[in-house]
Amino acid sequence: MSLSEFLAKKGEFYSKIDPFVAFRILEKYQRHFKIPPIIHIVGTNGKGSTGRFLAQLLEILGYEVGHYSSPHLFDFKERFYLKKGIVDENLLEKTHRKLSLILQEDLEKLSYFEYATFLAALLFEKCDFIIFEAGLGGEYDATSVFKNRLSIFTQIDYDHEQFLGNTLEKIARTKLKTMAKKALISTNQNESVLKMAQKIALLKGAKLCVLRDLSPDLLENLELYKTKFKLPLFLENNLKLALKACEILLSKSQTIKALQNLTSLNLRGRLEKLKENLYIDVGHNVLAARALCEYFKGEKLEIVYNSFLDKKIFEILKILKPISAKIMVFKCENETRALANEQIFDLCEKLNIKCEEFKELDKDKKTLVFGSFVLVEKFLKDYGA
């Protein structure tokens, strides 16, 4: 069975998780996996860009890096970054056949994401470093079954409450319990999250670095970089994490060298400017809305929007109100998860935000496409961007 046929049977979204399946599978088949040093990135927002920045920094220094991220926009292979680009389809298919032979009857026990994680482990076995981005969560996430060289924690906030818990404390605990013996956490956290991180580090005997700031020479080079590439604040924060991680893994002098040669972020959909007056962002939660509101502060945009129903849509729209000239609902459907569609009109009315169905782009108006990977994917397909 080809990879695409196999994945079609799995289905990308799921409502129930057996948290121990991936652990049992690795225990049974561990001898088949030769795992290079792993950098594990856990958090609510910023995992993808932090991981890709780190991959690019390490590549500049001559290391071969595999970066596993999720979800994807157009194609499953986008989840696997190797040798400075998206992995070759033939190599992915070959690795799928190899993994199928290893797992055999246990193949069906894994979810879509769990299978993709084991596929990444096999695909990247000859790399110098693997960067694993957690999916939904933390201690029971498929990416957590492997022993890590370094844990990186991006900002932790509310998201996926149906899986992780309905309080920030519960969400933070399950994410932070993945902590390796060396760990790095951003400071743009709720104070309770930082305290919990320090407590867990103490219990685990882990060396936790709380990133308050970089050294002056790194900051000087970062200033040049962010000016050159017009880096928004949230991407600057994620790059800082990647730089500190590079320093922990290697050295400060090597990190400065890598930063001086760093090109723009090689990852789609992170406040990406498609053309004059048109931006896309795959953010889908409160944190992402706040970051966009900060970036476009003082401006008014036409916002093309839709969202899965399980997101905090009212709160997101409320945050976006100061920068919204109007909300344009881009109607789309998903086979397994409900989108808000018509409900957005009612919420906008309550918030006194002008709202209408999206019909076409006005190239003279600054426009932001925002709300979910599904929305951005369909928009890009329909408009060939």
Q: For 177-204, write each residue's pLDDT tens digit.
A: 999 999 999 999 999 999 999 999 999 9
What is the DSSP-derived secondary structure letter of residue 144?
G
**Residue 339 DSSP one-character state:** B
Q: Reduced to 3 states, what is the DSSP secondary structure of residue 130?
A: strand
Q: Give Cα separations from 161 to 1, 106, 122, 191, 347 (angstroms).
A: 35, 29, 31, 20, 21
Q: Measured between alpha carbons, how far apart are the two ends of the chain, in Å?
A: 33
Question: What CA–CA distances, in Å, run from 104 to 30, 41, 100, 124?
Answer: 14, 29, 6, 20
Residue 268, judged by CB atoms within 10 A of its CB (0-12, 13-18, 19+), counts as middle
Residue 42 has pLDDT above 90, yes or no: yes
Partnered with residue 131 across adjacent β-strands are: 39, 67
pLDDT beyond 90 at 137: no
What's the pLDDT tens digit per position in 72-104? 999 999 999 999 999 999 999 999 999 999 999
**Is the CB of residue 271 less than 8 Å from the CB of residue 236?**
no
**Which segments within 298-366 are labelled E, that is strand?**
301-305, 324-329, 355-357
pLDDT value at residue 16? 64
Average pLDDT, the chain: 94
Q: 13 pLDDT band (50/70/90 cuts)?
A: low
Q: What is the pLDDT of residue 384?
A: 65
Which CATH code fits 272-383? 3.90.190.20
- Superfamily for domain range 3-260: Mur-like, catalytic domain (3.40.1190.10)
CA angle, corner 128, sides to 61 and 6, nearest 5? 125
Which segments within the chain are labelled E, that is strand? 38-42, 65-68, 80-82, 85-86, 129-133, 150-153, 182-186, 207-211, 272-275, 278-281, 301-305, 324-329, 355-357, 367-370
Query: What is residue 228's predicted lDDT score, i.e. its pLDDT?
Result: 97
Looking at residue 15, its pLDDT comes to 54
**How far is residue 199's CA from residue 246's CA, in Å, rounded to a whole number?**
25
Nearest CA to 170 out of 151, 196, 198 is that of: 196
The H-or-E segment that residue 176 falls in is helix 168-176
Does the pLDDT of residue 150 top 80, yes or no? Answer: yes
Pairing label, strands 80-82, 65-68:
antiparallel
Cα distance between residue 280 and residue 298, in whole Å: 19
What is the rounded distance in angstroms from the CA atom of residue 318 to the CA atom of residue 385?
29
**Residue 156 pLDDT exceeds 70:** yes
List the chain domain ranges.
3-260, 272-383
Average of pLDDT values for 267-281? Answer: 94
pTM: 0.94
pLDDT, position 18 = 80
| Lowest mean pLDDT, pick from 46-60, 238-252, 331-345 | 331-345
Q: State residue 59's pLDDT score.
A: 99
- Mapped onto helix, strand or coil, the DSSP state of residue 340 is coil
Lowest mean pLDDT among 14-23, 46-55, 69-78, 190-199: 14-23
Residue 173, token pair as written in the block? 């605990």
| Average pLDDT over every residue of 42-52 | 97
Nearest-angstrom CA–CA distance, 330 and 306? 6
pLDDT at 132: 99
Structure confidence at residue 161 as a pLDDT band (50, 70, 90): low
Q: What is the pLDDT of residue 318?
A: 98
Greatest mean pLDDT among 148-162, 163-177, 292-306 lies in 292-306
The confidence score (pLDDT) of residue 214 equals 96
Using the 8-state DSSP alphabet, how is residue 132 labeled?
E
Residue 88: phi and psi, rounded to 5, are -65, 135
Contacts 24+ apart (CB under 8 A), 122-125: 122/32, 122/33, 122/95, 122/98, 123/66, 123/80, 123/82, 123/87, 123/91, 123/92, 123/95, 124/36, 124/66, 124/68, 124/80, 124/82, 125/33, 125/34, 125/35, 125/36
Question: Taking residues 152-179, what's their average pLDDT?
Answer: 88
Residue closest to 331 by CA, chosen among 309, 358, 350: 358
Task: Give the residue with greater pLDDT, 157 vs 242.
Answer: 242
* The predicted structure's pLDDT at residue 338: 80
- Do 272-383 and 3-260 fall under one CATH topology? no
pLDDT digits (tens, 9 = 90+) for 294-330: 999 999 999 999 999 988 999 999 999 999 999 999 9
Structure token pair of residue 27: 């225990």
Q: What is the pLDDT of residues 99-128, one digit of tens each?
A: 999 999 899 999 999 999 999 999 999 999
